[in-house]
Amino acid sequence: MTERAPRHPRDAWHQPRGRGHRHAPRRRTLSRDVIIAAALRIVDRDGVDAVTMRAVADELDTGAASLYAHVQDKDELLAAVFDHVLGDIVFDAVPDPKRWQEQIKEFSRTYVRVLTAHNDLAKVSLGSIPTGSNGVRGMEAMLSVLAASGLPGQVIGYAADLLGQFVTVTAYETAVFAKNTGSPEDLAEFHHRLLTFFGSLSAIEFPTITALAPDLVQPDEAEDARFEFGLDIIVRGLAAHLPPKRRGA
């Protein structure tokens, strides 16, 4: 029987390991930030309703139970995701009493732009007030501009609530509308069907609707104009509450 030549030491590196030498796949170290990032990926891809503790765990290739060491539940996780995104709002303008109206508009535009970049994330803040660190910083920035205007404190309180509702609902509606209409062709078809519906109504029974039908159905490119119109109405309304001596400012 012929003896085999002894193996070269380096050949040992190419030999299959026994069971006792196998290493488990290396898992990503979990942290609150890692979990938030995974949840945000799901929101961007599939929307807020797709976020569950199980879905986030699957995204991270781990068990759902391991997440609870970092977040209490899905509601806390979504609130953290929302606050994380608010950190993208950059508004460091010094409050200017002479430009407060334009500054409030600039802040509102930025807020909507940041939220609409993340699918329907705005849904998270409907019916609630963001109290995370970034949310509070944003609130301070907005309130400081309103305070510089000279508006009474109670009016500022109402204004903060009104502006918060307006920008959040605008962002959420934009996401929902985009999801429901799909492509630009689908959107054009939607507008066509809506205009046809209004046109089919009885001009005797619904004279105002039929007369204004072309103005009621706006193309997609008019969405920015619609937002600016609403924002202008709100800011002008706030200005009407300035003390008489400050209305010219």
What tens digit of pLDDT does each residue of 172-221 get? 998 988 887 767 777 788 888 989 999 899 999 999 999 999 888 876 56
90 vs 18, more confident: 90
Given the structure tokens 């409907």, which residue do they identify? Answer: 126
pTM: 0.81
Inter-residue long-range contacts of 102-111, CB under 8 Å, 24+ positions, other chains counted: 103/145, 104/142, 104/145, 104/146, 104/163, 104/235, 104/238, 105/228, 105/231, 105/232, 105/235, 107/141, 107/142, 107/145, 108/163, 108/166, 108/167, 108/231, 109/231, 111/138, 111/167, 111/171
Identify the pLDDT of residue 16: 42
Identify the pLDDT of residue 18: 43
What tens digit of pLDDT does each residue of 98-136 get? 999 999 999 999 999 999 999 999 999 998 888 999 999
64 vs 29, more confident: 64
What Å distances lie between residue 155 and 77, 89, 141, 147, 168, CA to CA?
Answer: 33, 24, 16, 10, 20
Confidence of residue 7 (pLDDT cuts 50, 70, 90): very low
Confidence of residue 223 (pLDDT cuts 50, 70, 90): confident
